[in-house]
Amino acid sequence: MLALIDYGSGNIRSVENALRHEGADVKLISDPSRLADAQAVVLPGVGAFGDCARGLRERGLWEPIQQWLAADKPFLGICVGYQLLFEGGEESPGVSGFGFFGGQVRKFRAPGMKIPQIGWNSLDLTPHPLWSRIGEHPYVYFVHSYYPEPTDPAVTIARSTYGETFAAAAARGRVAGVQFHPEKSQTVGLEILRNFVAHI
């Protein structure tokens, strides 16, 4: 069973439908006790860093997810779900992330570029199982004003450029996160989700 974390963030149905399309046995989870039955976790996120962190804490999900990450179990964070893997960020000062990766979430400061970035952009990939059978510079769909800046560049598995180059995805062990929306990235996005499901 794949646990899709439901903590009041938007856009969860499109993620659920995309994962089901790729053969996953998806269950929406808002009760932390149900994580015991899961083989993998997907954490989506839409909105502000602080609001998403608060939603997880209010439902008692924060600590179980932190334990899941520490145990190196299969995990995929999407958009703000990716940003929450870091220590904190400029959007919500004083709000801590999971700290799985060292680093902060920064706001775009690219002069002349429209913020948020909304639309398609290409990736420069580093070899990783998530990218199996994907072309060299695939295009994926972004909606964001902030991006993580890892302390350790070695965890970055994809970069993209929007005025400035940023870490579009990061991974360590069986934990990964992507800033873009695979559920909105058509064939490439479905292939990424298929790869994640295949490696559970």
Residue 200's nearest CA partner among 80, 76, 86, 85 is 76
**pLDDT score at 176:** 98
For residue 31, give the CATH number of its domain: 3.40.50.880
pLDDT of the residue at 45: 84
68 vs 136: CA distance, rounded Å: 32
**Domains in the chain, number:** 1
Distance, in Å, from the CA atom of 117 to the CA atom of 24, rounded to the nearest integer, reads: 30
Tens place of pLDDT per residue across the chain (200 aa):
999 999 877 678 899 999 999 989 999 999 999 999 999 999 998 889 999 999 999 999 999 999 999 999 999 999 999 999 999 999 999 999 999 999 999 999 888 889 999 999 999 999 999 999 999 899 999 999 999 999 999 999 999 999 999 999 999 999 999 999 999 999 999 999 999 999 88
Whole domain around residue 142: which residue ranges?
A: 2-198
The catalytic residue positions are 79, 181, 183
SS3 65: helix
Specify the pLDDT at position 10: 66
